[in-house]
Chain A
C-alpha cells in the first residue's frame, strides 16, 4: 500500500529594521516591529488559519486515516504568540486529534548546521524543548532549515537521538534512484531519510494556480491518480511544503484548500494511506544509504546552499556571524541569546542573493542585495561589539571556555562544600544537644556514665 506523507513548515523570520552605520553602538534594537506584525498577521489571516482549519476538518472527517506532520521554527512560534495566538490554538486543537506529528528543527531557522555542531545542537534542542512544552511530545524526527542536509549533518543529528530526518529528493543526489523509498544516512544507518518528491510537492506549492501550467486546472482526483499510478513497489510519497504555500503562494481564491480537502476521500478510494514520518520509519525498511557529500537544500533550481552562501557577501556575513557562535553559547545574557536567534535566520542571507534565477525573489525592505548586505553588516557590527564586550577579546575561545568551566566547576564545588558544611553543622548541633542532655543525665546518675562513654 502506498503511503502519503504530508508535511508543512511554519516559519516567519523576524524582519530587521533599517539600521545605519551611525546607529552602531547607540541602538541595540534591530527589528522592524511594524513589518513583523504586519507580515505575521497577514500570513496568519490568509494562510495559516484557513489552512489549519482545513487540516482540522480533514482530520475530523477521516479520523485515524488522515495524518500529517508540521514543524515550527522557534522564531515563528514567538511571532505567533505575540501577534497571532489563534494559530497556536488551532495547532493545539490539531494536536488533540492525534493526526499530526510535530518535528524538530533549529529554533532560529539558521545555518549553524553548516559550520558549528555545538551551536546547531543547542539550536535544535531549544526548539525540541519548546515542542515538548507546547504539544507534550518530544520530537523524534527532524528537519533542518531549508531542508539542508549532508552526510555530516545526518551524523550529528543521529548522535542527538533522532530516528529520522526529512530532506530534499534532489535530482543531482538521487540520479536514477526514486524518492519514493526510505533511505538512510551514509554515515549512520540508524538515521532514516524521507525524501521530498519535488515534482508532486511543487505541483501544489508552486504551480497550482498558474493558468499557464499545462496541467491547470488540477483536480484532486487527477492528483491522486498520479500517485496511485506510480510503480507498485514505490511506497512512500513525501509531499513537503511551506504552510504558507496554501494561501500565500497559491491564493485562497484558487480553491487550493478545497483541493486539499478532497484528497483523502479520493486516496481512500484508491487504497492509499496517510502516515506521519515516524510511522513511515517504523513501518518501512531502508533500501539503501544515501551519500550526500555536499549540502543540499530544497531551495531554488540548484537545490544546494547557493541561495544563502552563493556570493562573497553572503559568505562574509555568514562567517562573521558564526565566528561569534562559541562566545554566544558561553554567555548567559538573555538579550544577546535572543538577538542571536533572530540574526541567524537564513532569510537574512537570502536577501543578499544575487542569483538571477531565484523564483519568488522577495527582498523585504531592501531594494538590492547590496542594501541587504550593508544593513545586515551594520547590525552585525553592533552585535559583535556587544558580544565582544562580554568577555575580553584577547582571550582565545578555548581558554575562555576552560576558564568558564573552571568557574563553573568551582561554583559547583563551593555548592557541594556549602552543603557539606550545612550537613556537618547540623550534625554538630545534634551531637552538641545530645552531649548536653548526656551531661544532664550524668549529673543525675554517675554510675551509668562509664558505660555511655564506652559505647561512644
Chain B
C-alpha cells in the first residue's frame, strides 16, 4: 500500500508536538512490510531520518519550468532530493506559476515554521502539492493538521484517491472556544472533504463531531503513542538519585505557560501543598504568554521561594528535568492528546493529569483529576510526595503501561482504517 502524506514538521527540526507525532506515526506504519510512505514537508534540512520512507521537500518541487543541469540540481538540492525526482516532478507542472515568487529552479521557498504570513504559506504548500499529487503513485492521501488540509483536498481532487485527515488539534483547543474564523473554515473544509477523520483522542473526536458537524461514522479516535527512550535520554534518566538521597521533592509542570495548559491551577494547588509541608519545590518548565502573570501570582501568595521558572526546555533538557522530578502535573484545560505525561511516565515520574486531556483516555496508571479541582490536585501532589508506596506503584506500573503503548500497534490500526476507507470509496 502506498500512502502520500502531507505534514508540516518532522524531527529533528520540530516546533511542537506535531513533528514528534508525525515521526512516530510514519515509523509505526512503516513496520508493515508492504507499506510505502511518501512524506511531504515544507522545508527539509537534509538530516531527517529517511530510512523508512521517502521525504519530499516542498521547497524542492518545481512549479514553473526551468531547465537547470543535473549537476546544478544535485548541488542545490542534492542533500534533500534525488535530481531525477526533480525532473520527474517538473514534467507534471499543471499551470503557469511564473507570476509567483519562484527561484532559479522554479521552486518556492518555505520557512517551515509558523510565520506571520502563514496563510500564504499554506496556500503555496497546496499549489506545490498539486504537482506532487500528479507525479506520485499512491492509494490513499493522509494530511496532518489543518495546515496541510488544503493540500490534501487538492491531491484528492487531482487523483480521486480517498483523503484521510489527521486531527492533532483543533482551533477550539487552542483558543478555548474563541476560534479564528479563517482557521476554522480551513479546518471545516478539510473535514468536509475527508473520507476518514482520525482524531488523536475521543475528546477531539467529540469536538470534531459537535463543533465541525461531521458525520460520527467517519470520525475515529486514533490515540498517539511513544517511542522507547533513545539511549542518550535513557542514560540521563538513569542518573536519577535514589529516593533516600533526595531531600526535597520536586513537582513539575512542563509545557507552554498559556491559558490552554492551566498553569494557574497548578499554582493554586502548590499554595495548598506548601501550607502544609515545606520540603516540596514546584518547577514551571516552559515559557508562554502567562509566564509573567504566574510569577506574580506565586509572589503574591508568598511561595515564590518554592516556585521555579527555568524557562523553555528542549530535547535532552526535558529529560534532565524529568530526572530531577518526583511528580509531573499536566493540569490542561483542554488537551487534544498531550504526549508529555507519557514521556514523564517513561522516565519513571508518576503523573497527575487532567481528565480534560486526550491521553487520560488511554492511561490508567496515573492520577486523573478535573483541572479545576485544585483540592484534588493538591491532595494528589501531597500524597505522591509523602506516600512512598503510591509513588513506587505508579512509577513502576506507569512505566510498564507506557511501554505497552507503541506506535507499531497504532500503525496496525491506521492500516486497517486505510483499507476500510479505500473499500468504502471504491
Binding site for B on A (CB under 8 A): 20-22, 24, 311-313, 315-317, 354, 367-368, 370-371, 373-375, 377-378
Q: Does B393 contact A (CB under 8 A)?
A: yes
* A370 to chain B: closest residue by CB: B367
Minimum distance in angstroms from B144 CB to a CB of chain A: 33
Minimum distance in angstroms from B142 CB to a CB of chain A: 34
Across-interface contacts of B379 in A (CB, < 8 A): 20-21, 374-375, 378
Across-interface contacts of B394 in A (CB, < 8 A): 370
CA of A20 to CA of B276 in the docked complex: distance in angstroms? 11
Over the window 387-413 of chain B, the binary record of Cβ atoms lying under 8 Å from chain A Cβ atoms (1 yes, 0 no) is 111101110010000000000000000
Q: Does B240 contact A (CB under 8 A)?
A: no
CA of A313 to CA of B328 in the docked complex: distance in angstroms? 19
| Pairwise interchain contact B382-A313, C-beta atoms closer than 8 A | no
- Given A20-B378, A367-B368, A377-B383 contact (CB < 8 Å): yes
Across-interface contacts of B272 in A (CB, < 8 A): 22
| Pairwise interchain contact B387-A20, C-beta atoms closer than 8 A | no
Across-interface contacts of B382 in A (CB, < 8 A): 21
Give the size of the chain B interface in residues (CB under 8 angstroms).
21
Q: Does B275 contact A (CB under 8 A)?
A: yes
Binding site for A on B (CB under 8 A): 272, 275-276, 367-368, 375-376, 378-380, 382-383, 386-390, 392-394, 397
Minimum distance in angstroms from B94 CB to a CB of chain A: 56
- Given A21-B378, A374-B380, A313-B390 contact (CB < 8 Å): yes
CA of A368 to CA of B393 in the docked complex: distance in angstroms? 14
Across-interface contacts of A312 in B (CB, < 8 A): 389, 392-393
| Pairwise interchain contact B393-A311, C-beta atoms closer than 8 A | yes
Minimum distance in angstroms from B159 CB to a CB of chain A: 46
Minimum distance in angstroms from B391 CB to a CB of chain A: 10
Across-interface contacts of A373 in B (CB, < 8 A): 383, 387, 389-390
| Pairwise interchain contact B389-A316, C-beta atoms closer than 8 A | yes
Q: Choose one: B275, B367, B389; the contact of A368 (CB below 8 Å).
A: B367
> Main SS of chain B's interface residues?
helix
> Main SS of chain A's interface residues?
helix
Minimum distance in angstroms from B387 CB to a CB of chain A: 5
Q: Choose one: A20, A22, A313, A367; the contact of B393 (CB below 8 Å).
A: A313
* Sample (15) of A-B pairs whose CB atoms are under 8 Å apart: A20-B375, A21-B276, A21-B383, A22-B272, A312-B389, A313-B387, A316-B390, A317-B389, A354-B393, A354-B397, A368-B368, A370-B380, A370-B394, A374-B380, A374-B387
Interface centre among A24, A368, A375 (most CB of B within 10 A): A368
Across-interface contacts of A311 in B (CB, < 8 A): 393
Interface centre among B272, B275, B379 (most CB of A within 10 A): B379
CA of A20 to CA of B374 in the docked complex: distance in angstroms? 11
Minimum distance in angstroms from B424 CB to a CB of chain A: 33
Across-interface contacts of B376 in A (CB, < 8 A): 371
CA of A20 to CA of B383 in the docked complex: distance in angstroms? 10
| Pairwise interchain contact A374-B368, C-beta atoms closer than 8 A | no
Across-interface contacts of B375 in A (CB, < 8 A): 20
Given A312-B389, A370-B383, A374-B379, output 10 extra A-B contacts at Cβ < 8 Å: A21-B379, A22-B272, A22-B276, A22-B378, A311-B393, A368-B368, A370-B380, A371-B367, A377-B386, A377-B387
Minimum distance in angstroms from B268 CB to a CB of chain A: 13
* B273 to chain A: closest residue by CB: A21
Minimum distance in angstroms from B365 CB to a CB of chain A: 8
Minimum distance in angstroms from A372 CB to a CB of chain B: 11
Minimum distance in angstroms from A211 CB to a CB of chain B: 30
Minimum distance in angstroms from A320 CB to a CB of chain B: 9
Across-interface contacts of A20 in B (CB, < 8 A): 375, 378-379
Across-interface contacts of B380 in A (CB, < 8 A): 370, 374
CA of A377 to CA of B376 in the docked complex: distance in angstroms? 14
Across-interface contacts of B388 in A (CB, < 8 A): 316
